[in-house]
Amino acid sequence: MIPASPLPPQPVVDWRLAWRQSLTDPRQLLARLALADRADELLAAVDTGFAMRVPESYLRRMRPGDADDPLLRQVLPAAAELQAAPGYGTDAVGDLAASRAPGVIHKYHGRVLLIATGACAINCRYCFRRHFPYADELAARDRWRAALDYIAGDDSVQEVILSGGDPLALATGKLAEFTDALAGIGHVRSLRLHTRLPIVLPERVDAALLAWLGGLPWPVTVVVHANHGNEIDEQTSAALHALRDGGAHLLNQSVLLAGVNDSLPALEQLSWRLHQAATLPYYLHLLDKVAGAAHFHVDEVAARHLHAQLRARLPGYLLPRLVREIAGEPAKTPL
Ligand SMILES: *Cc1c(COP(=O)(O)O)cnc(C)c1O
Ligand code: SF4
């Protein structure tokens, strides 16, 4: 449980330093978790082509000695990733077809999503990002010019969503460069960030970021991404509270993942922990059919059943909407 008493002050660590100190060697990760003797059994014998990356603070939230830890499962390369599965491809949700300019994905009315950067602080094994051709598709390239031109040229765009990769992997100055220019576009009335960094690298929520957020001329919504309650420890909770106190609306999206959060207790605990961290559940996504992620799949019948049970247990405002993304649809599809 997260104590209700005021949190102790956190030591100030430069987030880039914390990022650079991430673990990239699976054997080292297992050794740190007292699982060195199971390395041969657990690790993929063949290179999966998608490196491991785990920040230290995220490692500290895993349970030593538990190979089934729900955080470890999200990041440890597994032999199952190499198995081809029918229907699992490299552009699961039609992002490339919806790309309007470098890094600009305009699928839904009024909202434009920018692939700000391909960089991210962690590598989640189920991520579509492992296949995205980022080199061609970055909104932050060339001082955001193409993205800004696109937004200025379409006055139906009311909300701009910074996504990625992870937009908070960009320097705060780079983000400010964008929002300074965006402020000159009159029809934009809302800014959103889709980011997992406050969860996986809470050091990122520093004074400079909060000062930038506090100075923005629009309502700002920060949609974080946590899949399991254990991801929200005191440090994460403090980062989320700081964002909230800095004026952001905080929502969470998660992905329903086999062996990580596909149980009633796990989903219930996640909602309550989010609530304690000033964040409301928004979406619970069915997994996009990304090649290499089939072993995380939860079928739709099981997902609906879990969601119905969850509805019977939680206050309405702590119930995430169960959705899937279907290419060509005008919004996420509720189940
Ligand atoms: C999911 C998504 C959005 C945001 O949808 P909301 O339902 O408003 O959260 C916007 N653009 C794209 C391309 C998306 O995939
Ligand atoms: S944080 Fe998001 S973008 Fe980064 S690897 Fe995980 S799922 Fe992908």
Q: How many CB atoms lie within 10 A of CB 33?
A: 19
Cα angle at 62 between 56 and 68, to 5 degrees? Answer: 135
Residue 4, pLDDT score: 53
Domain containing residue 228: 96-334
Closest ligand 2 atom to 164 CA: 3
Cα 194 to averaged position of ligand 2 atoms, centre (Å): 10
Residue 50, pLDDT score: 87
Residue 141, pLDDT score: 84
**C-beta separation of 284 from 266 below 8 A:** no
Closest ligand 1 atom to 223 CA: 9
Helix, strand, coil percentages, rounded to 5, for the chain: 40, 15, 45
> pLDDT tens digit string along 97-114?
778 788 999 999 999 999
**C-beta separation of 158 from 112 below 8 A:** no
Domain final residue pick, 82, 117, 135: 82
Residue 92, pLDDT score: 64
Residue 145, pLDDT score: 94
Residue 132, pLDDT score: 74
| Relative orientation angle of helices 172-182 and 207-214, to the nearest 10 degrees | 10
DSSP string over 50-111: S---B-HHHHTTSPTT-TT-HHHHHHS--GGGGS--TT-BSSTT-TTTTEEETTEEEEETTE
Residue 97, pLDDT score: 73
Q: Pocket of ligand 2, candidates 122, 255, 288: which has the most ligand atoms within 8 Å of its Cβ, to mutate?
A: 122
- How far is the C-alpha of 224 from the C-alpha of 168, rounded, in Å? 11
Domain final residue pick, 82, 111, 126: 82
Residue 163, pLDDT score: 96
Same domain, 170 and 66: no
| 2 belongs to a structural domain | no
Number of domains into which the chain is organized: 2
Cα 195 to averaged position of ligand 2 atoms, centre (Å): 8
Please tell me the number of the ligand nearest to residue 55's CA.
Answer: 2
Q: Residue 210 maps to which CATH number?
A: 3.20.20.70
DSSP 8-class letter at 329? -
Residue 5, pLDDT score: 53
Residue 8, pLDDT score: 52
Query: Which regions of the chain are under pLDDT 50?
Result: none
Same domain, 38 and 159: no
With a Cβ cut-off of 6 Å, ligand 1 is lined by 105, 107-108, 111, 113, 161, 331-332
Q: What are the residues facing 101 on neighbouring strands?
A: 104
- How far is the C-alpha of 53 from the C-alpha of 68, rounded, in Å? 18
**C-beta separation of 186 from 218 below 8 A:** no
For 207, the 3-state DSSP assignment is helix
**C-beta separation of 311 from 273 below 8 A:** no
For residue 162, give the nearest of 186, 190, 185, 183 by alpha carbon: 190
Residue 185, pLDDT score: 98
Same domain, 107 and 76: no
User: Residues 6 or more apart from 265 whose CB is under 8 A from it?
Assistant: none
Predicted TM-score (pTM) of this structure: 0.94
Residue 291, pLDDT score: 86
Please name the helix (run of DSSP H) or strand (run of DSSP E) that holds residue 17, with its range, or none. helix 15-20
Residue 46, pLDDT score: 64
Same domain, 149 and 115: yes
Examine residue 165 and say whether the peptide bond preceding it is cis (omega within 30 degrees of 0): yes
Cα 108 to averaged position of ligand 1 atoms, centre (Å): 7
Same domain, 53 and 29: yes
| 64 belongs to a structural domain | yes
Residue 46 in tokens: 């063949």
Residue 44, pLDDT score: 66
* Edge-to-edge strand list for the sheet holding 333-334: 99-101, 104-108, 111-117, 159-164, 190-194, 220-224, 249-255, 280-285, 321-324, 333-334
Residue 48, pLDDT score: 75
